[in-house]
Structure 1
Amino acid sequence: MIVETLLQMMVLVVLGAAWRWLAPGRMPGGQLRNAITELVFYLLLPALVLRVLWQAELGWESVRISIVAGSGILTAMGLSLLACRSCRIAAPLGGAAILAASFGNFTYLGLPILIG
């Protein structure tokens, strides 16, 4: 399993180096990087998450995970609120701090919302 993963990583690195050397389409690096980034953020990562969710077994373990995750989010929000109030942070900045402390940006899924 580890060897397969390392081999896949090596193939991707080699393909990236070959792409840079060959420069297909003669696209500027910045333009190509933006196109690949948008492909990954808007199509590939959401598709990966949906695939994993559709294949997941739903049961009591899923309910427990949801309860723990929800409790963690509520705790982070409460602690952030207390910290913002104790430091007398302005309301807009405090709201942003509470949201940032409460919700992780797992696999960059929140990035399209932030930059969109």
Structure 2
Amino acid sequence: MLIIIAISIWLCLAIHRFNQDSKYTFNEAVKNKNTLVIVYKPSCKRCHRVLPRLFLEHCLDRKKEIVINGEKLNDEQRDELENRITPTFRYKNISYNTANISEVEQIWSKSH
């Protein structure tokens, strides 16, 4: 029973972190070059493979990141973030269009 409760709390923390990180705007994302920006699309299968795992593993990290829904971006905004395919991870004005979990972990480590 305690294991189920612990897993439920962990899952809630990960969901809460993702929801909090999703409240930022495009303008906040581009002005914070030292903050990891993650562009995703709710319908993206690659995002569904990578992001839940990432947020579950890092739900207690202290440094923030910004999560942007790519479906709400216009073409100019996508170009500015160099978003070609989702998920896109942008840190220090460099964009990484990858779903490779080891690459994503390296990007996360550099940014956090």
TM-score of the pair, normalised by structure 1: 0.29
Larger helix fraction of residues? 1
More strand per residue: 2
> What's the TM-score, normalizing by structure 2?
0.30
Larger radius of gyration: 1
